[in-house]
Chain A
Amino acid sequence: MIVDSYRFLPRSFRPYYEGRGPFRGEGEPVWAPFEKRLGEARIALLTSAGVFLRKDQQPFDVEREQTHPEWGDPTWRPIPARAGADDIGVAHLHINSADIQADPEVALPSHLLAQLAAEGLIGAAAETHFAVMGYQDRHLHDWRERTAPEIIAALRDEKADGLILAPA
């Protein structure tokens, strides 16, 4: 089947997404070849569901977003692969987070990825995955200048051979 990209989007929001084209300067193809076999590769995950560790990390700043509706917190959080539902909070004003709170694997399937590594489908799962708050389209500056370089550096530290990103 061909996925209907707007099936769950309120009809009045569709023009904000459809036919907008690439961001300025981001129209050309970019390509990093995946050179290893999957069974030898180390894989990391990134979610934009606003996931954070309740005990150890600040939530994403949704208070400021309440007073500045066009702003979204551009920071990121490292999420240890072993973190589970008891460890994780969700700070995201654009979705009902109840299902992610109940089962974080719907947004960041780190336990499942570890299982696939144990089975040999992938070589290894990263020890640390990544969370952002994915409401950034209006202000990409901080993401471009700070968040992305930091995540890239962390991916290199992790020796990640590939990354699966999942928007919320």
Chain B
Amino acid sequence: MPVLARWIERAGIPTAVVTMMPAVAEERRAPRIVGVEFPFGHAFGMPGDKGMQRNVLELGLRVLAGAPSFGTRVDFDLEWPVPLRDAYRAWQPAEPSPIVRKLIEARRGSNA
């Protein structure tokens, strides 16, 4: 995703990435970054919470329009309002993704 932002930016269209992994977006050299400490699949917040979604989107827009220079990162100042253990479990798919399944099987194989 950060690399897609870079290609679009290079074509002359300003971009901002709203991401739960802002450190990775920095490493991948995204031009403007908003960090959210939210579970995967929830970049703009809790379902049904219009206030939270609005606050994140507005921050994204203000960073898009007002970031002074390449690499600007602003983090959204809110903790996810669900206990970590529950939220950690909730975002994950019922079945491991194919690559995760492959990695787990490879690890089992190397431990055997």
Residues of chain A at the chain B interface (Cβ within 8 Å) = 1-9, 12, 17-23, 26-34, 36-38, 41, 43, 46-49, 65-70, 92-97, 99-100, 102-103, 105-107, 109, 112-113, 116, 121-122, 132, 134-135, 140, 143-144, 147-148, 151-152, 155-156, 160-168
Contacts and interface: CB of A to CB of B under 8 A. Distances in A.
B91 A95 contact: yes
What 6 A-B pairs have minimum CB-CB distances, sorted nearest first? A69-B98, A3-B35, A103-B47, A166-B43, A5-B23, A29-B70
B101 A165 contact: no
Contacts of B112: none
Nearest to B47: A103
Contact of B20 (A2, A5, A112): A5
Nearest to B63: A164
A116 to B, nearest CB: 7
B18 A106 contact: no
Given A38-B66, A121-B61, A151-B8, 6 more contacts: A38-B61, A95-B91, A99-B42, A103-B47, A105-B53, A161-B13
Contacts of B75: 1-3
Nearest to B78: A1
A29 B92 CA distance: 34
Interface of B: 1, 3-24, 27-29, 31, 35-48, 50, 53-54, 57-58, 60-62, 64-67, 69-71, 75-77, 79, 84, 87-88, 90-95, 97-103
Contact of A49 (B11, B41, B50): B41
A60 to B, nearest CB: 13
Chain A's interface: helix, strand, loop or mixed, by majority? Answer: loop
Nearest to A46: B4
Contact of A163 (B13, B23, B48): B13
A4 B58 CA distance: 21
A93 B93 contact: yes
A1 B37 CA distance: 10
B93 A95 contact: yes
Contact of A23 (B3, B9, B67): B3
A40 to B, nearest CB: 10
Contacts of A47: 43
